[in-house]
Chains A and B, each alone.
Chain A
Amino acid sequence: MESILFLGTCEEDGSLGKPARETLGVASQLAAQLRASFAVGLIGTSVQEAANQAADSGATRFLGVCGSDFSHSRYATDAAAAEALCRAANATLILAPGTSRLMRCLPGVAHRLNGRADTHVTAVAANEGAITAQRWYYRQRMEARFTRSHRPWFILIDPGAAPVWSGTSRKVEVENIEVVLPDSARKTEVTGFREPEAGLNTIRPDADLLFVVGAGWTKKQPDGKVHAAEAEQLILEFLKHTRCSLGSSKSLVDLGSEGQPVLSFLSHLNQIGQTGSTPRHPKGLATCCHGEEPHTIGWRFISERRAINLDPQCGWARGKADVLYVADAFAVLKRVNELLKGT
């Protein structure tokens, strides 16, 4: 008989974030299918509001580790809190959102409990009592379905892979789990956060559109000259109007780090594809991108895809985009910006 624990961290305002609510839905559904005992475990400064949000999830226990030591993302304290919650719930299956905070600490907790952890899981299903997880291998090149006999089994669900769960909020009784931290757990101190400069976007999971810029923006144009400055201005204006996610190919980012005169605002945080991120957005617009399969992995999880390219055979687009505009991206984006500005 499985015992399921949904494990989440609270946002700064004490609520459950979108990835947490997505995973809560998966856990709730799985618990109902397996008729398993179901508990919610939360970590944060204060967990009451998040627990209230999960009241309708079918969970019968609400456990919390709270206090100022658990407000920030730090391996030692997060791992201690998660370990305490898992032990208190005596869970065999732990479902958690694949956020940077939990991705960092839960594999370590799995080791402490002699369990196993699978991350980047995109689906979990129960069939005649057997639980199957699904995830990608080799950087989104192939997808596998598998089962594990090891327990406890930590399953971290990729953000955006499941619908967002919602239910009526009502007050629930939270069992506070005491965690005594050794001094060594405070060896690391979170000192702050860095945001992209105003007007410059990187990968923003909440954006509706992913805008991908390729190396073509920095190649010689029909007049025989490079127009990197003009490209920068057009791209920045497009970002300002659409507030989209900005992705780039590795080659373009690498050129920037080598000090060559390219698009100065790009960094490795923008990199998508085989050695970058594979973000999930409803729409994607690729401009001046080239390359075959390994490079196109960056928009594996983009639902609607369009591309602008001068090459009608472009591997980024043919068979991978819904629409390919064979056109000069400079001219098109300039007019797009004018139209967006006027609306």
Chain B
Amino acid sequence: MNTGYHVVVCGGIVPDPLQTLEPVSTPTGPALKNELVLPATLDPWACHALYEAAHLARQHPGSRVVLVSISPKQRLQQVMMTIAQKVPFELVALDGSASGFTDPAETAGALAEAINGLPGLNRERLLVFGGWESASRGAGVTLQYLAERLAISDVFMGVDELRVNADGSLEVVERIEGGRQQASRCSGPPVVVGWATGKLPEPRNNPQIGMQNMRAIIPVLQRAKQVKIGAEGVTFASVTLPKQLRQTRIVRDATPEAIAREIVEWIKG
């Protein structure tokens, strides 16, 4: 019996976190200044989801990991040069906007269509992974829309841990309020899992895996289907950067004793 899973990871690209971001107005709504030339990375939480998927696939022979990404294909290709070296996966690319100002319902619609169209999709072994939020829209909404479209009724968000029990049931640990975590047991797939940071460190680059992945990724990118992702029904009144700049009082040459007293007074005040 094949005990492998069909793990579909959803993740888009986001501007490199170290870039300065500035909003601009365009005829189609807000966007980022120089968005098309900003260095990009795969969304950090989607990355965690991909690493967890690859880890799970290694433990369960016969598993298949597919990354489904809606992103402008030229920029996605640049990002793939790095990500492809991390873990083995297949890519399904949709050429569309990865902007944070698009609507998650539209993103989910395109993702669902792509997932339903995957050849040999085995719903009984399907695990849909993604980041619980993104570094662009940061809403934590897309995966639930996707779950509904795929008729999956078990959804977990803010997941730090997923283990497979001997009987095939899944143990899932999710983040909840107050630094606590909720543990649940699900009888089995299909499930949707929105990963938080998980527990795995970033895998080291492996050029061999990179070459193997890229051989399949390049043709996929070349024939990536265009999808229109917008924000129908949303009107942005303003998008602004926070202006607040504090007048910092710099305390030099004070003794640890004096500083400690001031801090304690402030904490207690």
Q: Which of chain A's residues 104-156 have a Cβ closer than 8 Å to chain B?
A: 104-108, 110-112, 116-120, 132, 136-139, 141-150
The distance from the CB of A109 to the nearest CB of chain B, in whole angstroms, is 8
A306 & B263 in contact (Cβ 8 Å cutoff): yes
CB within 8 Å for A339 and B154 given contacts A138-B15, A150-B233, A327-B254: no
The CA of A318 and the CA of B149, in the complex, are separated in Å by: 48
CB within 8 Å for A137 and B137 given contacts A324-B249, A335-B256: yes
Contact of A306 among B171, B181, B183, B266 (CB under 8 A): B266
A323 & B180 in contact (Cβ 8 Å cutoff): no
6 contacts between A and B (CB under 8 A): A104-B157, A111-B149, A120-B138, A120-B140, A138-B135, A146-B234
CB within 8 Å for A325 and B254 given contacts A120-B138, A137-B136, A275-B44: yes
The CA of A73 and the CA of B234, in the complex, are separated in Å by: 31
Interface of B is mostly: mixed
A203 & B158 in contact (Cβ 8 Å cutoff): no
| B238 partner residues in chain A, CB cutoff 8 A | 144-145
The answer to whether A71 has its CB under 8 Å from any CB of chain B is no
Across the two chains, which residue of chain A brings its CB closest to B161? A194
The distance from the CB of B151 to the nearest CB of chain A, in whole angstroms, is 10
The CA of A202 and the CA of B173, in the complex, are separated in Å by: 16
The answer to whether B37 has its CB under 8 Å from any CB of chain A is no
3 nearest A-B pairs in the assembled complex, by CB-CB distance: A202-B179, A335-B260, A268-B197
B259 & A283 in contact (Cβ 8 Å cutoff): no
Q: Which of chain B's residues 127-164 have a Cβ closer than 8 Å to chain A?
A: 135-142, 144-145, 147-149, 153-158, 160
The CA of A322 and the CA of B246, in the complex, are separated in Å by: 6
| B267 partner residues in chain A, CB cutoff 8 A | 209, 242, 283, 285, 340
A257 & B248 in contact (Cβ 8 Å cutoff): no
CB within 8 Å for A203 and B179 given contacts A104-B144, A144-B238, A275-B17: yes
Q: Looking at the complex, which of A36-44, A56-64, A184-192, A224-232 is the stretch in contact with chain B? A: A184-192
A148 & B178 in contact (Cβ 8 Å cutoff): no
A293 & B20 in contact (Cβ 8 Å cutoff): yes
The answer to whether A67 has its CB under 8 Å from any CB of chain B is no
Contact of B240 among A142, A271, A339 (CB under 8 A): A142
B182 & A193 in contact (Cβ 8 Å cutoff): yes
Q: Mark A330-343, 1 if CB is under 8 A from B, else 0.
A: 01111110111001
The answer to whether A254 has its CB under 8 Å from any CB of chain B is yes
B239 & A117 in contact (Cβ 8 Å cutoff): no
A317 & B15 in contact (Cβ 8 Å cutoff): no
Q: Mark B56-90, 1 if CB is under 8 A from A, else 0.
A: 00000000000000000000000000000000000
The distance from the CB of A189 to the nearest CB of chain B, in whole angstroms, is 5
Contact of A138 among B105, B136, B175, B260 (CB under 8 A): B136
The CA of A340 and the CA of B21, in the complex, are separated in Å by: 41
The CA of A328 and the CA of B256, in the complex, are separated in Å by: 8
| A326 partner residues in chain B, CB cutoff 8 A | 250-253
Contact of A108 among B18, B145, B198 (CB under 8 A): B145
Across the two chains, which residue of chain B brings its CB closest to A190? B184
Q: Report the contact-size class of chain B (Cβ under 8 Å from the partner).
A: 35 or more
B264 & A340 in contact (Cβ 8 Å cutoff): yes
The answer to whether A205 has its CB under 8 Å from any CB of chain B is yes
Q: Mark B172-214, 1 if CB is under 8 A from A, else 0.
A: 0111111111111111100000001111111000000000000
B182 & A73 in contact (Cβ 8 Å cutoff): yes
The answer to whether A165 has its CB under 8 Å from any CB of chain B is no
Q: In the complex, given contacts A76-B153, A144-B101, A188-B186, what are 20 additional A-B residue pairs having Cβ atoms less than 8 angstroms apart?
A: A101-B176, A105-B155, A108-B155, A111-B145, A116-B105, A120-B139, A138-B15, A138-B135, A141-B21, A143-B239, A144-B30, A189-B185, A192-B182, A194-B183, A195-B180, A204-B179, A276-B197, A293-B20, A320-B246, A320-B248
Most chain A CB inside 10 Å of its own CB: which residue of B32, B156, B174, B182: B182
| B117 partner residues in chain A, CB cutoff 8 A | none
A147 & B235 in contact (Cβ 8 Å cutoff): yes
The answer to whether A258 has its CB under 8 Å from any CB of chain B is yes
Contact of A188 among B101, B103, B179, B185 (CB under 8 A): B185
